[in-house]
Amino acid sequence: MSLLRILPVLLLGYWESSAQSTLESSPIATLSIPDFDLLSFDNRDQLYLSTLQGDLYLFDENGNQTNYFSPPQQGKLQQLEAAWTVTIFSFSEVRQEFRILDRFLNPLSEGRYPFPQINLAKASTLGNGTIIWVWDESDFSLKRMDYRRKVVLDQQPLNLILTTENLEIKEIREIKNRLFVNTESSGVFVFDNQANFLEKIPVPSFDRICYYQDQLLWVEDQTIQSYHIPSRQTRTLLSLDQTEVRQVQFGQERMALIFQDRIELYAIPHAIQNRY
């Protein structure tokens, strides 16, 4: 077969793979929880949702509520993570308190700062094993702590690496042995699991990290934008008919569109699964 006959087929495949998809389906469920705040999917597409008071709701993959937890002392959460295999992690900056729960929202471990070597925890994330990462604003350091022994194992002063404006940190998350540091206006910085700086990802400011298949995702101009970390490519992943979508979170086969007053739960379109 000649090259001239093959070329149109190759171009058609390229444009089909590059063309953006549009979300046209109806939501599986719409969740309207008063004062909802943070949400996170686990690896079975169960959805964990916190309120401004720090209460936790658990929903199955179809949006049915299956459990609820209210802490003894309430306070807004700065971090909620359910993507780990068997545990749920929460951190409250206002209460300087972390809590680790099982999949059924039963508390397993908890603690309050300050600890020795940690004075002002502004962001925190769960790491592998018994590790918790802490952004300590009192000395501008990332600290890796064994939460069972309450011991800081090592620390990295970020003011020696980043400029002052880059130290306005919204969130930190460990994902696949890398620590992602989401800043107010300077993109996302990536460190290895020893807090050694790896790279800066040039993405616009967003409130919460959404990670899906080696991509960072965010909402922009009624679209879901994707930054593919290995290839360093940015593209439009999905067009949205809905207006006023504030944020997005992805699970395995479920995605949540976050509005001011509700959360809409959808199946992830097949066209964008395993896209890369």
**Residue 3 belongs to a domain:** no
Q: Which of 122, 119, 132, 121 is nearest to 84 (CA)?
A: 132
Please tell me whether residue 133 adopts helix, strand or coil conformation.
strand
Same domain? 86 vs 128: no
Q: Is residue 244 part of a domain?
A: yes
- Kindly report the CATH number assigned to the domain that includes residue 126: 2.40.10.480
Query: Do 153 and 218 fall within a single domain?
Result: no
With respect to residue 143, please indicate whether it lies within any of the assigned structural domains. yes
- Does residue 25 lie in a domain region? no
Instruction: Kindly state whether residue 24 falls inside one of the protein's structural domains.
Output: no
Residues 61 and 87 reside in one and the same domain: yes
Sequence-ordered list of residues with C-beta below 8 angstroms from that of 62, at least 6 positions apart, any chain:
28, 29, 265
Q: Would you say residue 164 lies in a domain? A: yes
| 13 domain residue, yes or no | no
Q: Using the 3D structure, point to which of 206, 232, 261 is the last residue of a domain.
A: 206
Tell me what pLDDT residue 21 has. 73
> Of 112, 129, 144, which residue constitutes the final position of a domain?
112
Instruction: Please answer whether residues 177 and 192 qualify as being in contact, where contact means their C-beta atoms are separated by less than 8 angstroms.
Output: yes
Q: What is each CA distance from 58 to 51, 78, 223, in whole angstroms?
A: 12, 18, 28
What is the per-residue pLDDT for 16?
A: 39
What does the pLDDT read at residue 275?
62
Report the CATH number that the domain containing residue 43 is assigned in CATH: 2.40.10
* Residues 6+ away with beta carbon under 8 Å from 261: 32
Judgement on whether residues 142 and 127 belong to the same structural domain of the protein: yes
Indicate if 94 and 62 belong to the same structural domain.
yes
Q: Give the pLDDT confidence of 82-118 residue by residue, as tens digits.
A: 999 899 999 999 999 999 999 999 999 999 998 888 9
The number of distinct structural domains making up the chain is 3
Identify which of 199, 192, 251 has the alpha carbon closest to the alpha carbon of residue 230.
199
Q: Are 201 and 183 in contact (CB under 8 A)?
A: no
In a domain, 20, yes or no: no
- Asked whether residue 131 falls in the same domain as residue 192, the answer is yes
Picking from 156, 126, 130, the residue whose alpha carbon sits closest to that of residue 143 is: 156
Tell me, yes or no, whether 199 and 219 share the same domain: no
Residues sharing a CB contact under 8 Å with residue 258, sequence separation 6 or more, in sequence order:
39, 245, 246, 247, 248, 249
Q: Are residues 182 and 239 in the same domain?
A: no
Distance of alpha carbon 7 from alpha carbon 233, whole angstroms: 24
Final residue before a domain boundary, out of 112, 144, 175: 112
Residues 130 and 182 in one domain: yes
By C-alpha distance, which of 208, 242, 258 is closest to 32?
258
Residues 184 and 229 in one domain: no
In this predicted structure, what is the pLDDT of residue 274? 65
Sheet holding 47-51, edge to edge: 36-41, 47-51, 56-59, 65-69
Say if CB 123 and CB 135 are below 8 A apart. Answer: yes
Residues 183 and 221 in one domain: no
pLDDT at position 23: 77
pLDDT of residue 18: 45
Q: What is the pLDDT of residue 276?
A: 59
Tens of pLDDT, residue by residue, the chain (276 residues)? 444 444 433 433 433 344 457 776 799 999 999 999 999 999 999 999 999 999 999 999 999 999 999 999 999 999 999 999 899 999 999 999 999 999 999 999 999 998 888 999 999 999 998 999 999 999 999 999 999 998 999 999 998 888 777 788 999 999 999 999 999 888 999 999 888 999 999 999 999 999 999 999 999 999 999 999 999 999 999 999 888 999 999 999 999 999 999 999 999 998 787 665
Range of the domain at 56: 33-112
